[in-house]
Structure 1
């Protein structure tokens, strides 16, 4: 993040310089910029790349960077109001997802986010895997439709049960998988059952696809099967989206008894279960087998992602399904995006096939255990009146606030005080029953930074 800040600061300085130059006039050399601004050559290169993308400069290899031609000044801005009529009243609201993907400002402790802190990501192993993958003769060729066979086989072995490589479809990350699955299975206007609370991203995808999320409450053991059966009967829904292991945001694991009941309820309703297994490799304790491993009737559509356990830009996941629904999902992916990039597929295969993969997972699990316990200890010491869960995996704590606290206002005040947390309200498909915060323990730089974040949050709550 500091490097990104240096690039932005240099780009700001160069914009001022460029505006003083005439079109075609040369900027100082890269060496001169390095010495003048005391930054690295990489920072200079990236800053010039930003200005080139903005159309402010033109770079010529071997010659340097030059001020670009400027568009003529003045004139009325184009009238684009007609587009509102053409587009109609459907809207796509990215606010929730954008908030989760926006890095914390400098000086703010990040206790919110969906990815491991860079210090916990396997950067060196990924770089080595990518280098090996790029050296393959067919690295940039068209991949087999459905994904490279060795990667499909790896996902099948990892999931277990009766899953075969033929059931596996390689996809472009978990979020894209949810989009493809929902669009393939449900027509616009259809209801889809979701846990309440649930992952912000699935609510955004469902609403953008014209679907109607119907909440089904969860408790400490996961979704409540009796209420799930009622929701199927009342809504007529034909699909239920859930996260049975390390549920986001609550961290709960669906109990063994309820796992069987959820499948029974779906069977009685003639419906599918969409199982989002995003955090299986972030288990502090080993999670139970996925629902699809217990499913003999092709009722479960399983989404397996490795992005959370690796790095944000390793956008490779798998959808596992059987029967006509699998054909529908494969066809939808093919017409919408063709296939995931082969170099990323090959890189992931190299990573999970290397001896360092198991070491990385052990290190991440140990770090997450220490971080979870550090945050819970700090909260118990500073804010004993809060009810804090004890997740067995994942990245988040789910904190019950005192009645009457406005969790959205609290999260905004916390950000002003230098700590980023997530209000609980947006995770509910409908009105929340109580105020909550989601506090992420895998996103900060260290246990010391986590403690400082709790201290800042405490000051806000006490005020």
Structure 2
């Protein structure tokens, strides 16, 4: 038995002992504990330290260890059963955004996750931006509800859609923006149309807002406009969530011939289109696709984007762009939710995106991600011929592959071989039409790690077949 497990057992034993004592009672001496529990002096010292940190005991040098005043109260297990009735059935479903296999070990090769590995993040530029922002005389003042003027203007310029900074609301990342948009447009019980498959975080945000996700199929050119029209007619939905560029998880780009059709269908239904342009800075070569927002003249599109994906996980800065009453409603939700996004983070983001280092980073990142996408697709084709990669995307962070057997079983078995992949069932609002796996190529430390991860998947597949 390890010393760590022995310490845990001793802590639990001492908790039981303390439960039977009164505040101020003295615990047995270290020598007595060593003899009673057959442990070493180091184990006793560690156990006492844990209990002292919890506030269960106090130590008095030269006198001993004594039960603290609140130890008896802490020893009782709270009865919270009444909360089940008080909370009713309004649960928050996080299954689509929770790792069912637990936190991966440090040695696990990550073909899962939605953030860049640290080696791909603009860490030096981020640190420099944060330092410059910290020198500002008003950096700790309250920020405007809609966001810093300069940052709003930068987000407007990134879209290339001819919008102004006055149409922008700065948010605490893309996920916060989605939650805000869903709650502003629809109410509990309302349907929301989503591409099938789609981003699990959007499904979680919609369900947390009480909405009912309704799937609309994709093909190689994006969402099918005729089926979108049918879904609007059948459900009466007033909201369609989509990712026209570098779709997560499939990498699809909405075909130019369908862009106007999607907007026309939404307008005819009197509905909004929430356009999630998470990949605006994740194109692998050349300019990213023109957003739907650029073709919107009637306020149909509510546009979502973020700096988190191309930057770093803790760069929780995103934006909503919209016109008309829907923007006023989202600003009202911002005032109720949290008043404004922390000014130091906004100032740092503004320093980052207005520096020459940002443009260099985006170019370098695009090249690196393109190389990784090709390398991972080639490794899968070479070493896992029974798997089918649907496409090598022109942007984004993921490959979408059809597996030869249960994706959930593959994902679970892969963990045992030191590689993390994402089972595809969590990307569907309804039943999955096949066994799909999402493979991330931006979360490993270096290019060779992708080939090694695939080799581990081969060993996993071979071992599972034995």
Same fold (TM over 0.5): yes
Correspondences of 1:361-376 after superposition (within 5 Å) = 361-376=362-377
Inter-partner Cα distance in structure 1 for 2:250 and 2:67: 52
Change (3 A) 1:56 1:314: farther
Per the normalisation by structure 2, the TM-score is 0.84
| 2:175–2:201 CA contact under 8 A, matched in 1 | yes
> What's 2:401 paired with?
399
> What's 1:72 paired with?
71
Q: Render the CA deviation track for 1:223-261: whole Å, top value 9, x for unaligned.
A: 111110010000100010001111111111111111111
Greater Cα offset, 70-79 or 244-253: 70-79
Inter-partner Cα distance in structure 2 for 1:329 and 1:320: 10
Inter-partner Cα distance in structure 2 for 1:219 and 1:432: 15
Distance apart, 1:55 and its partner CA: 6.2
Extract unaligned runs of 5+ from structure 2: 15-23, 26-49, 59-65
> What's 1:225 paired with?
225
Change (3 A) 1:374 1:53: farther
Inter-partner Cα distance in structure 2 for 1:254 and 1:338: 35
Q: How many residues align?
A: 414
Inter-partner Cα distance in structure 1 for 2:309 and 2:231: 31
Distance apart, 1:386 and its partner CA: 1.7
> What's 2:123 paired with?
123
Report whether the alignment pairs 1:144 with 2:144: yes
RMSD of equivalent CA atoms: 2.7
User: Radius of gyration: which is bigger?
Assistant: 2
> What's 1:338 paired with?
339
Q: Render the CA deviation track for 1:144-191: whole Å, top value 9, x for unaligned.
A: 221111111111111122311110111111000011111111111100
Inter-partner Cα distance in structure 2 for 1:409 and 1:158: 41
Change (3 A) 1:294 1:55: farther
> What's 1:35 paired with?
none
SS at match of 2:251: coil
> What's 1:30 paired with?
none
Extract unaligned runs of 5+ from structure 1: 1-8, 24-49, 59-66
Correspondences of 1:350-365 after superposition (within 5 Å) = 350-365=351-366
> What's 1:135 paired with?
135
Report whether the alignment pairs 1:305 with 2:283: no
| 2:145–2:334 CA contact under 8 A, matched in 1 | no
Correspondences of 1:273-352 after superposition (within 5 Å) = 273-285=273-285, 286-352=287-353
Q: Render the CA deviation track for 1:48-81: whole Å, top value 9, x for unaligned.
A: xx999966999xxxxxxxx996841585411111
| 2:101–2:412 CA contact under 8 A, matched in 1 | no
> What's 2:194 paired with?
194
Inter-partner Cα distance in structure 1 for 2:80 and 2:293: 49
Inter-partner Cα distance in structure 2 for 1:54 and 1:201: 36
Distance apart, 1:220 and its partner CA: 1.1
Inter-partner Cα distance in structure 1 for 2:81 and 2:56: 28
Correspondences of 1:200-211 after superposition (within 5 Å) = 200-211=200-211
SS at match of 2:207: helix
Inter-partner Cα distance in structure 2 for 1:70 and 1:110: 47
Per the normalisation by structure 1, the TM-score is 0.84
Change (3 A) 1:229 1:387: same
> What's 2:428 paired with?
428
Inter-partner Cα distance in structure 2 for 1:124 and 1:101: 33
Greater Cα offset, 444-453 or 195-204: 444-453
| 1:101–1:114 CA contact under 8 A, matched in 2 | no
Distance apart, 1:387 and its partner CA: 1.3
Distance apart, 1:383 and its partner CA: 1.2
| 1:101–1:113 CA contact under 8 A, matched in 2 | no
